[in-house]
Structure 1
């Protein structure tokens, strides 16, 4: 583990500029990507959610960096509980569902976690929104997802914010 890089993560903030600076560091030092992923996946590390923020920005532009680590990532996403980390992880799941060919097991792991995040009432809308988009994408391959997604979105429609309602309307319109 590169201690200077870890220190950069620990000192990063939620400000976009801070996260982008660390993401740029990974772009120019891609050999440190495994370290970033290790910190992000270590939910016992008090800075793992900061690593998730950076990981999200890195993968938004260079999703291929996760290719060799897909199995590890998908196997461990159930461990995330920190809402700040979950927002990033659910967005990464969305990227994966849209742009990467996943194995059946990886799809199953992502689907299971997205459904869990979607039905848990204490989850933030952003995590739910990315989960909805991920499930919609994977539902193109797994026909059982759309009826389940439709039921959840219809049942939960009145419980959440305008943002949730907007994504629910959009997806319900697409799956009818």
Structure 2
């Protein structure tokens, strides 16, 4: 996993500009989709819900980027306990 990307997610906040910035970065660099999904589906990671925020934005704007990961995301959805992750999925 790209450490820079992981740190960017960890340091993010719920602000619209922050989430939009990461969203735009992923759209321009789709090779980070696997890292994003890995973070979002790892509920043991304390920042998983922040990755879910970005997945939520991508689902609205670029759902085709999520297609290869749909099964994994759906399988993980039932395991979420953090309110921000549940709401995002």
TM-score (norm 1): 0.49
In 1: Cα distance, 2:54 partner to 2:75 partner: 20
Partner of 2:27: 27
Offset of residue 46 of structure 1: 0.5
Structure 1 regions of 5+ residues with no counterpart? Answer: 90-176
Q: Over residues 23-60 of structure 1, what are the superposed CA-to-partner deviations in whole Å (9 max), with x where a residue is unaligned?
A: 00001100101100110010110000111111111221
In 2: Cα distance, 1:13 partner to 1:69 partner: 24
Q: Map 1:6-155 to 2 at 5 A.
A: 6-89=6-89
Structure 2 regions of 5+ residues with no counterpart? Answer: none
Kindly name which structure, 1 or 2, has the bigger radius of gyration based on alpha carbons: 1
Specify which structure has the bigger relative contact order, considering alpha-carbon pairs within 8 angstroms and separated by 6 or more residues. Answer: 2
What secondary structure does 2:43 align onto?
coil
Q: What is the aligned-residue RMSD (CA, Å)?
A: 0.8
Offset of residue 85 of structure 1: 0.8
In 1: Cα distance, 2:10 partner to 2:42 partner: 14
